[in-house]
Amino acid sequence: MKKIIFCFALMSSWLGWSQSNHLPDQTYLSIEKKVIDWRRHFHQNPELSNREFKTAEVIAAHLKSLGLEVQTGVAHTGVVGILKGKHPGKVLALRADIDALPVEERNDLPFKSTVKSTFMDTPVGVMHACGHDTHTAILMGAAELLSQHKDQIHGTIKFVFQPAEEGPPPGEVGGASLMVKEGVLKNPDVDVIVGLHINSQTPVGMIRYKPGGTMAAAQRFVLKINGKQTHGSQPWAGVDPILIASKVIDAYQTIISRESDLTNEAAVISVGKITSGVRFNIIPESLEMIGTVRTLDFEMQRHINQRMHELAKGIAEAYGGTADLEIQDFTSITNNDPGLVNALLPTLERVAGKDQVVLSKATTGAEDFSYFQEEVPGFYFFLGGMTPGSTGSFPHHTPDFKIDESGLLLGVKAMTEISLDYLK
């Protein structure tokens, strides 16, 4: 699909914006406790991708209580709220992701998750180990404030609560791509979309951003290696798929270290799961390896994918086995429209302070927000969630992941003020 090119004219009305927020600080402070309570509820009751049923019920009930037009069951469990301002104008979408991860929480919080579920036929704990609980609470807070100030809204706001950002379970569809397919950006047609992501390694009060490519395209690969089963005491009588897998893993890293121009953009190949064998003294017949590829340049992605196929096939055959590789696209490159970034940057600098809004480098993390950006101009930025002065913090997707809740209010301010400014 032809990508829409966003061109934003800096008109004189933009230059006349007030240097103060549209809503007073006291208005924001009045909702802070409610936002934190919502966050804690979602954190204590997390749900996996495409299974966010109770989460969606809470969101929908809140949006309906605000008098918004509410759509449920979007992309399975997504919720969309539509707020029409008092004045005509453009259509702005604000997005929050709502799903959790198959991670067992290790934090000692009074609202820690003890939820258990099953993922890929394996019993797992469930945890908001990436901060989606905070995104959901922030957008619910922004929706409440904006619904109370429709007289300041020139246009329409779509609040998009998206399921399955972490990826739908194997064999299912979901997430942003399914929302787009089902028409979430239509009726009314969205002009631009904005999203944020809290970050456990960015201090509270800080906002990070980057025009252009800001997060990587993500791919999931599955490599199946077939050998020949034999007794562990007689490896010469068989073909060892575990040995072949070890050679393939080593070769895949040379694609990155010796064949990819990392001065251009970063790239990563990581193996996350290997399944093979049933006993300590049997060399198995087959092996399955699952991993991810992250790229910020489509030509680099093409080369890496091609070499992964060639190396897996060649190495397996050299050791007497066979290899079958499948690579599936999970997200595209999260590509912030430069014109939209420039237009909204003054708002972020106003709400956070100019010295607290920092231009950052791209990351090899991935976001399916990118699928919205393939249809309309979008801006995706990062919100600080680390206690200032902290000596360290745990990364996302880990059992010890933790967020300082004092950072949530800035997220509410940013989303609210962006809405009022853009639609003005």
Report, as residue numbers or ranges, the catalytic residues.
99, 165
Phi-psi domain of 420 (left: phi exceeds 0; alpha: psi -120 through 50; beta: other) = alpha
Q: Please give the Cα distance from 400 to 93 (Å, whole number).
A: 32
Q: Beta-carbon neighbour count of residue 416 at 10 Å? A: 28
Q: What is the Cβ-side half-sphere exposure of residue 368, based on CA atoms within 13 angstroms?
A: 23
Pairing of strands 378-386, 192-203: parallel
Helix (H) or strand (E) holding 258: helix 241-259
Closest CA to 414 of 353, 335, 347: 347
Identify residue 30 by its one-letter amino acid code.
S
How far, in Å, are 164, 223, 265, 312 from residue 252 at the CA level? 29, 12, 17, 9
Alpha-carbon distances, residue 267 vs 229, 304, 337, 345 (angstroms): 35, 9, 22, 28
- Cα separation, 300 vs 306, in Å, equals 10
d(CA 256, CA 152): 51
- Spatial contact of 111 and 44, defined as CB atoms under 8 Å apart: yes
135 neighbors 197 (Cβ within 8 angstroms): yes
Is beta strand 322-331 parallel, antiparallel or unpaired with respect to 207-209? unpaired
In the block, tokens 């390694």 appear at 201
In terms of Cα–Cα distance, which of 46, 49, 48, 41 is closest to 140? 41
